Amino acid sequence: MSRPLINCKIGPSILNADLSEIYAESQRLLDSGADYLHLDVMDGHFVPNLTFGHPVVKCLKKKLPQAFFDMHMMVADPEKWIEPIADAGAEQYTFHIEAAADPLQVIRKIKEAGMKAGVGLKPGTSVESVVPLIEHVDLVLIMTVEPGFGGQKFMTDMMSKVEYLRSTYRNLDIEVDGGVGPNTIELCGKAGANLIVSGTAITASDEPKQVISYLRKSVEESLLKFHP
């Protein structure tokens, strides 16, 4: 049996879009070629910021039933929100390993709720900590900024985590989030990331379609070396 290929997917983060126009902004991103939408949920505890919760997600999903919602749950108690987020219609639930006393239980509950499970790592967390979970999750998210606020500077040294994961787990979906745009995308692709979260670089652009296309082309060219 031939091994599955890793595919590049671009998931714009709407955190830095005009949240008073969240539906219109989301539709604009999807029309511009986004593969999925990356929705940042912050609770003011795990990170020092608040965004939106499951009621907003549920309303948005009703208007965008065809969109794939990748929930980035920057929350202190990830188990608490699994059922509400599943009920809101999200397809994927990514929690932070730092917030989970029993990560395997969180993963099991996410899957029981009918969602894909992802696990995220803050910059200060070692990549080795996620190794026991890899066979159970659908993706690993490597934060390339400190979670909590958009517009931060990309942390180049986080690429070593991506490189380790890609060299060890050839077919793993590896997501990067934070400061990712045209100026940093080549680093992400060469390290082996294939799921690309980009916020301001896309949402603030007058030509989001071109930005998404550029990010995709750069990553696809880089991924050829892993799966020629």
What residues are labeled active site? 40, 177
Separation between Cα atoms, residue 227 and residue 208, nearest integer Å: 28
Tokens at 179, concatenated: 């400061």
**Residue keyed to tokens 């991506």:** 162
Which three-class secondary structure state does DSSP give residue 152? coil
Separation between Cα atoms, residue 207 and residue 60, nearest integer Å: 23
| Residues paired with 92 in a beta bridge | 70, 116
Separation between Cα atoms, residue 211 and residue 202, nearest integer Å: 6
